[in-house]
């Protein structure tokens, strides 16, 4: 049953995303006055065909792994397949042509003004870019719908902050729930409903001010905690004007996740749970197991993973008594954290060799139309930017090619998200739509990004790359796509073998 769900989820998700991508090409081509000969979803023998009154042939192939839009073009070449999930391409520089489809018949002179190759550079650029843009717009729409409906988000509950952090200096000790921020510049108060909202608000605040007040509640009491941003946001103390704004804005672009960590604001929740234990580690030797809940350290209660980590770091080489809960029963363990060098400061710290997690209290947050649209656009931008950065890191060797995933992994996640419900499936589709848009914008010939690169060269030099060079680059691009596909499939099979 899970296999059927995965296959159906994969077909539905990819089918919708490919249709949206190709419809972007098709729509802008028609608006630009280009004659579209064929709109095809899938490859191989058609299982459905229909010829519209305007002469466009609509087709669905039996292999749902891509699609293409074939446009009228004077060049006598094999054409190419638009790479919305497919690496099937030949050596024609015009985007959207079906692989292997030749235009042997003479073109009616009346149709020449509607040929793709006769369009201006701006129109050709817009037609090619429209596919990836359509995928990004779909992601924005899906995220907007999710934010409008409401998504479960962690409550802005503060965990125990590190000693000497900005949060600790402000007086926060852990267990407080942030309900608002008061801005020092104008006294404006912004309500805070969740942890992600706290991150976003702090990220924005860091671009324009150096301090604000955190308003939080604990045990029903409401208190103010003055928080200094300048010491941790990366803005030099003596910076001013545009320089300070630019430096702080870099932090805001990090969406606040790194910023709140530097401030010492850690998410709090229930008592920490053991998520993993390294073989031969102090945690393993003491008998700590995955699933154990740590309730006490040396007789004092522990409320979050951050506090437990801080205690372990501070007690390297010393006996530490743990009060844990296992399968509903209380037990006592004694472990001795190993003394290791802190990778950042080089100072000796304690380490037990266990992964910890905390169950965060959740709240469902729904946003208004404008806020939801803005957040959807920002989420799409962040995911796309992260994807481009990851491709860059893999290209330079800073990140492993194991990060690539292929159709098997996508199908697996499609099935899992479908079983989790409609909201999870829509979120999955938004992420895959962004990935499809990013992939097609990579400057690799046979992909949309490769053709956009040709047009950029044409815009600068006044002429397009020669057909000989385009043919060579097309073959090189096809090799790159095939190589990436092989690596992605290998990673899929490797992950599958370890399930």
pLDDT in tens, 61-71: 887 778 889 99
Would you give the end-to-end CA distance of the chain in angstroms? 17
pLDDT surpasses 80 at 87: no
22 is catalytic: yes
When the candidates are 3.40.50.150, 3.40.50.720, 2.30.42.10, 3.40.50.300, the CATH number that belongs to 273-358 is 2.30.42.10
Integer Cα distance of 33 and 114 in angstroms: 6
Is residue 168 within 8 Å of residue 161, measured between CB atoms? Answer: yes
What pLDDT, on a 0 to 100 scale, did the predictor assign at position 105? 53
Range with lowest mean pLDDT among 34-43, 101-110, 374-383, 418-427: 101-110
CATH number, domain 166-263: 2.30.42
| Cα 465 to Cα 478: distance, rounded to the nearest angstrom | 18
Cβ-based neighbour number of residue 63 at 10 Å:
12
Q: Do domains 166-263 and 273-358 have the same CATH topology?
A: yes
Please give the Cα distance from 216 to 226 (Å, whole number): 11
Band (pLDDT 50/70/90 cuts) for residue 257 is: low
CA distance linking residue 28 with residue 334, whole number of Å = 68
What pLDDT, on the 0 to 100 scale, is given for residue 100?
Answer: 35
Confidence of residue 335 (pLDDT cuts 50, 70, 90): very high
282 has which bridge partners?
A: none
Determine which one of 22, 176, 197, 273 is catalytic: 22
Residue 232 confidence (pLDDT)? 42
Q: Are 89 and 81 in contact (CB under 8 A)?
A: yes
Q: How much is the pLDDT for 497? A: 59
Place of tokens 């018949």: 105
* Model confidence pLDDT, tens digit, residues 124-178: 999 999 999 999 999 999 999 999 998 888 899 988 888 788 898 999 988 899 9
Give percent helix, percent strand, percent coil of the chain, each to the nearest 5: 45, 20, 35
The share of the chain scoring above pLDDT 70, in percent, equals 87
Give the H or E element holding residue 354. strand 354-357
Annotated domain spans of the chain: 2-138+434-497, 166-263, 273-358
Q: What is the pLDDT of residues 276-324, one digit of tens each?
A: 899 999 999 999 999 899 989 998 888 778 778 888 988 999 999 999 9
Residue whose pair of structure tokens reads 């995928």 in the numeric block: 135
CB atoms within 10 A of CB 464: 17
Q: Is the pLDDT of residue 43 over 90?
A: no
Q: What is the rounded average pLDDT of the residues 388-416?
A: 79
pLDDT of 230? 59
């Amino acid at each position: 049953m899970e296999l059927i769900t995965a296959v159906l989820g994969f077909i539905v998700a990819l089918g919708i995303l490919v249709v949206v991508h190709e419809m972007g090409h098709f729509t802008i081509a028609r608006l630009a006055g280009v004659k579209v000969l064929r709109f095809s979803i899938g490859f191989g023998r058609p299982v459905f065909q229909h010829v519209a009154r305007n002469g466009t042939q609509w087709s669905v192939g039996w292999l749902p792994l891509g699609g293409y839009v074939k446009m009228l073009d004077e060049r006598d070449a094999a054409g190419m397949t638009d790479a919305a999930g497919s690496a099937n391409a030949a050596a024609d520089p015009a985007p959207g042509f079906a692989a292997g489809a030749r235009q042997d018949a003479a073109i009616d002179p009346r149709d020449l003004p509607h040929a793709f190759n006769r369009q201006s550079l701006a129109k050709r650029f817009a037609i090619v870019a429209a596919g990836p843009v359509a995928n990004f717009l779909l992601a924005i729409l899906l995220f907007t719908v999710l934010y409008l409906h409401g998504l479960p988000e962690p409550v802005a509950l503060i965990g125990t902050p590190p000693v000497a952090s900005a949060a600790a200096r402000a007086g926060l000790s852990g267990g407080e729930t942030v309900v608002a921020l008061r801005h020092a510049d104008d006294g404006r108060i912004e309500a805070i409903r969740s942890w992600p909202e706290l991150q976003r608000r702090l990220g924005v605040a860091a671009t324009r001010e150096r301090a604000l007040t955190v308003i939080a509640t604990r045990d029903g009491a409401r208190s103010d905690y003055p928080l200094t941003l300048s010491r941790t946001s990366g803005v030099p103390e003596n910076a001013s004007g545009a320089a300070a704004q630019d430096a702080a804005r870099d932090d805001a672009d990090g969406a606040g996740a790194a910023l709140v960590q530097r401030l010492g604001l850690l998410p709090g929740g229930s008592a920490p749970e053991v998520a993993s234990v390294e073989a031969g580690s102090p945690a393993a030797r003491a008998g700590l197991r995955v699933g154990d809940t740590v309730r006490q350290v040396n007789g004092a209660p522990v409320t979050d993973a951050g506090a437990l980590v801080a205690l372990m770091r501070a007690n390297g080489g010393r006996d530490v008594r743990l009060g844990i809960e296992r399968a509903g029963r209380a037990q006592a363990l004694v472990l001795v954290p190993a003394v290791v060098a802190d990778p950042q400061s080089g100072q000796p710290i304690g380490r037990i060799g266990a992964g910890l997690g905390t169950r965060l209290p959740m709240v469902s947050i729904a946003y208004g139309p404008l806020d939801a649209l803005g957040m959807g656009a920002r989420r799409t931008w962040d995911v796309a930017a992260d994807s481009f950065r990851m491709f860059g890191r893999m290209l330079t060797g800073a990140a492993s090619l194991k990060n690539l995933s292929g159709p098997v992994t996508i199908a697996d996640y499609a099935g899992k998200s479908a079983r989790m419900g409609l909201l999870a499936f829509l979120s999955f589709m938004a992420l895959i739509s962004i990935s499809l848009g990013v992939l097609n914008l990579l400057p690799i010939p046979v992909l949309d990004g490769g053709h956009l690169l040709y047009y950029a060269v044409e815009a600068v030099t006044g002429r397009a790359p020669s057909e000989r060079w385009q043919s060579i680059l097309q073959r090189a691009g096809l090799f790159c796509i095939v190589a990436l596909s092989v690596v992605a499939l290998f990673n899929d099979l490797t992950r599958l073998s370890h399930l």
